[in-house]
Amino acid sequence: MSKGLKTPPFFHSIDKLQDELDSIKWYLWHGNTFKALQRLRDLTDAEGDESDAKLVKFTKTACEFETYIRNNRSFIPNYGDRYRNGERISTAFVESTVNLLIAKRFNKKQQMRWSKKGAHRLLQVRVQVFNNELYDSFRTWYPNLKAIPQSEVLAA
């Protein structure tokens, strides 16, 4: 988006703006949301040509991004630290599970499609099955539910 802008007055050149955006990305990658928010605030507070539609759109998007980072800062991990410690930094395994469990039913070519509400409910049940929590949930809903031996559960 920044590459399509005319020269922004605050940064004097597109290259300097691009460097600032790269800096924000670096701070976010390393879990430093405080510095990233400071840099984003500089972007959103910058004065510019109000008649430039692309600059107005860029500023609006930067403000929305700042709000997103502020609201989710406690969930932004330090990927650099995780990478150095050999920890997982990809969500591919989650995406694969979602595709396995529900994505096929959202395909428009399927005869039976799920609503978002139905898919959400299915995921709640599937997660409880994976975590061996489904039976406990049923026991809270139906206290008189007869206990099923684990061998019968595994056989089913």
Question: From first to last of its 156 residues, what are the pLDDT tens digits of the chain?
Answer: 776 676 665 666 777 888 888 999 999 989 899 999 999 888 777 666 666 777 778 888 888 999 999 998 888 888 888 888 888 777 777 677 767 666 666 665 566 667 778 878 888 888 888 888 888 888 888 888 777 665 665 555
The pLDDT assigned to 132 comes to 81
The pLDDT assigned to 81 comes to 87
The pTM is what?
A: 0.55
CA distance 45 to 64: 13
The pLDDT assigned to 68 comes to 92
- Of 20, 29, 33, the closest CA to residue 71 belongs to 33
CA distance 43 to 40: 5
The pLDDT assigned to 113 comes to 65
Per-residue pLDDT tens digits for 44-85: 776 666 667 777 788 888 889 999 999 988 888 888 888 888
Contact 39, 27 (CB under 8 A): yes
CA distance 42 to 36: 10
The pLDDT assigned to 66 comes to 92
**The two structure tokens encoding residue 121:** 């409910």
> Which residues, in sequence order, are CB contacts of 61 under 8 Å at separation 6+?
1
- Of 65, 54, 61, 63, the closest CA to residue 25 belongs to 65
The pLDDT assigned to 50 comes to 65
Reported as type and span, the H/E element at residue 17 is helix 14-29
